[in-house]
Amino acid sequence: MNSTRRNFIQSSVIGTAGLGLGIASTTEVSAANRPETVEPETSVDVEVLVVGGGTAGTIAAIQAGRAGARVLLLERNSQLGGTMTTGGVAFPGLFDAWGKQVIAGIGWELVKECVALDEGQLPDFAKVPQRHWHNQVYINQFLYAILAEEKCADAGVEIAYYEFPQSVTKLDDGWQVDCVGFGTRRRVRCQQIIDCTGGAEVVGLLGLPRLREQERQPGSFLFMLGEAHEPGRNQIHRLYVHGADSTNSRTATVANLTGRKSILQKVRQEQKRLMHLQPETGFRESYRIEGETLITVGDYTSGRVFNDAICYAFYPVDLHTKSGVKPQPLKPGKVPTIPLRALVPKGSRNLMVAGRCVSSDRLANSGLRVQASCMGMGQAAGVAAALAAKQATTPLEVPLREIHDLLRSHDAIIPGDA
Ligand SMILES: Cc1cc2nc3c(=O)[nH]c(=O)nc-3n(C[C@H](O)[C@H](O)[C@H](O)COP(=O)(O)OP(=O)(O)OC[C@H]3O[C@@H](n4cnc5c(N)ncnc54)[C@H](O)[C@@H]3O)c2cc1C
């Protein structure tokens, strides 16, 4: 390198550092990790395919990987975390109920590490808060997405971004799932599928029954006007997008266009700077599955302990409508549970869901859909799928005791345990 060029680079680095504009560092994709770009078709054989790397799917994949399964995690966006990161709802709850922790395991591990690395604060679960949201945990969405990738890598989970399934074919011993991404096609053979797409899209592709309300809860766009958003610290502004529909790319496009247009209007009206904007609408409600068990609002509010309960859930009944939301807190001492059979589409084998599409009526779902519960379901589905793959059977035929034991050994809390 000639000295003039070297001097120029040195002064650029010093110059930008001096102005606080840049950090002079680089990274490079290693040769071992570089996929073959000239070959547009690829195929992979795994035990567990997790579709959707959001709140529930990330945890399901890490858990299945830690349980020894070969796992592929398919995510149609560019990062993990789903509604928590891409949607910006970075305040997961609720891990506690009535003065003690009721959901732990891998989701909690990630949240805790994220808060520690970000020098944030965890709520004191020994205190029963006056308002339920006081015990939600503020996390740095950017850090969470990266930590989730690290945990997947450590668990041996392969991640495929920008890809989604186009067709799913039943085989004698599992599934063939044909996926597309841009410039690539992938054929996946797997024994078990966990559908964590939020709206049970794989279940839909298979033509299995799904439930959907005529009018759904609004979505929300998260943004910050007039003041900086400090991730993991402050509340973020929200704008309801009524009629937001995540059924397909056409309806989701309309929701995003509508939300951004309203935000532009606000900027003009309030004459404040737009300091932060999430890349897409957060969707509260779309499809739910019709599972082997359907959780009713009565089950939910009475804290029914199902005999195949795999985790707790805790949140008020929380239905957002055109006139806003009036959370209905649960009665003191009540802690709902989620049965394994609510994660299994009715009449199916080798297929589970986890997350907000859990089999439930609308009001029960308005409480069940929150992030800690989705993480609990994800972990349970990861365990059940990994065990079913090893035993060459379907999740509902794995002895429940084995599912519980493996969950406990990965720090999950099982309903009924002290
Ligand atoms: C505005 C708003 C406020 C909320 N407030 C709270 C709150 O305060 N506290 C709380 O705990 N919860 C809250 N929730 C609820 C909670 O955030 C969600 O219900 C939960 O995160 C859903 O998790 P999930 O895993 O089911 O779906 P997501 O986290 O949405 O994950 C689904 C993932 O699947 C991917 N995907 C979808 N389809 C495909 C496909 N075909 N192929 C591949 N990938 C696909 C998506 O890109 C996404 O990454 C809120 C939700 C919203 C929208």
pLDDT at residue 42, rounded to an integer: 85
Residue bearing the CA closest to ligand 1, atom 8 = 91
CB neighbours (10 Å) of residue 131?
A: 10
- What are the Cα distances from residue 305, in Å, to 279, 309, 327, 334, 365? 39, 7, 22, 10, 17
pLDDT band at residue 16 using 50, 70 and 90 as cut-offs: very low
Q: What is the pTM assigned to this prediction? A: 0.94
Q: Ligand 1 pocket, 286 CB below 6 A?
A: no
Single-letter amino acid code for the residue at 44: V
- In 141-248, which ranges are continuous DSSP H helix? 141-154, 201-205
Q: Ligand 1: which residue has its CA nearest to atom 37? A: 197
> CA–CA distance from 376 to each of 57, 182, 191, 197, 209 (Å)?
11, 32, 22, 16, 24
Q: How confident is the model at residue 21 (pLDDT cuts 50, 70, 90)?
A: low
CB 175 within 8 Å of CB 165: no
CB of 288 closer than 6 angstroms to any ligand 1 atom: no
* Alpha-carbon gap, residue 181 to 164, rounded angstroms: 7
Predicted confidence at residue 178, as pLDDT, reads 97
Atom in ligand 1 nearest the alpha carbon of residue 52: 34
Phi, psi at 72, each rounded to 5°: -115, 130
Residue 63: predicted pLDDT:
99
CA of 34 to the centre of ligand 1 (A): 30
Which ligand 1 atom lies nearest to the CA of residue 373? Answer: 11
Kindly report, residue by residue over 162-171, the tens digit of the pLDDT: 999 999 999 9
When pLDDT is cut at 50, 70 and 90, the band that residue 38 belongs to is low
Would you say residue 235 has pLDDT above 90?
no
CA-based max dimension of the chain: 76
Task: Return the H-helix or E-strand segment holding 213.
Answer: none
The b/e string for 151-187 (b: 16+ C-beta within 10 A; e otherwise) is bbeebebebbeebbbeebeeeeebbebebebeebebe
Question: Is a pLDDT exceeding 90 seen at residue 25?
Answer: no
3-state secondary structure of 68: coil
* Alpha-carbon gap, residue 104 to 383, rounded angstroms: 15
* Topology (CATH) of 41-212+286-409: FAD/NAD(P)-binding domain (3.50.50)
Kindly tell me if the per-residue pLDDT of 242 is higher than 90: yes
What percent of the chain stands above pLDDT 90? 88
Q: Quick check: 8 pLDDT over 80? A: no
Instruction: Write the DSSP symbol of residue 122.
Output: -
pLDDT, average across residues 109-118 = 98
Q: What average pLDDT is seen over the chain?
A: 93
pLDDT score of 6: 45
pLDDT value for 389: 98
Torsion of CA 179, 185, 187, 190, to 10 degrees: -50
pLDDT on residue 87:
98
Nearest to 362 by CA among 217, 263, 240, 231: 217
Segment 206-225 mean pLDDT: 96
Task: Give the pLDDT band of residue 22 (cuts 50, 70, 90).
Answer: low
Residue 47 near residue 67 (C-beta atoms within 8 A): no
- Which pLDDT band holds residue 20 (cuts at 50, 70, 90)? low
Q: How far, in Å, CA of 291 to CA of 282, rounded?
A: 25
> For residue 7, is pLDDT > 60?
no
CA nearest to 238, candidates 80, 386, 91: 91
**CA end-to-end span of the chain:** 68
* Beta strand 320-321 pairing with 324-325: antiparallel
Check whether 13 has a pLDDT greater than 90: no
Backbone angles phi, psi at 173, to 5 degrees: -115, 25
Q: What is the pLDDT of residues 260-300, one digit of tens each?
A: 999 999 999 999 999 999 999 999 999 999 999 999 999 99
Q: What residues contact residue 72 under an 8 Å CB cut-off, 6+ apart?
A: 44, 46, 48, 49, 50, 157, 158, 160, 188, 190
Q: How far is the CA of 49 from the centre of ligand 1 (A)?
A: 18
pLDDT score of 10: 45
Distance 388 CA to ligand 1 centre (A): 26
For the chain, which residues make up each domain, given as ranges? 41-212+286-409, 219-277
Whether the pLDDT of residue 41 is over 90: the answer is no
Indicate whether residue 283 lines ligand 1 (CB < 6 A).
Answer: yes
Tens digit of each residue's pLDDT (9 = 90 or more) over 150-194: 999 999 999 999 999 999 999 999 999 999 999 999 999 999 999
CA distances from 31 to 39, 154, 404 (A): 16, 19, 41
pLDDT at res. 418: 65
| Confidence check: pLDDT of 208 > 70 | yes
Can you tell me which residue has the tokens 């049970």?
A: 200
- Residue 145's CB is within 10 A of a number of other CB atoms, namely 21
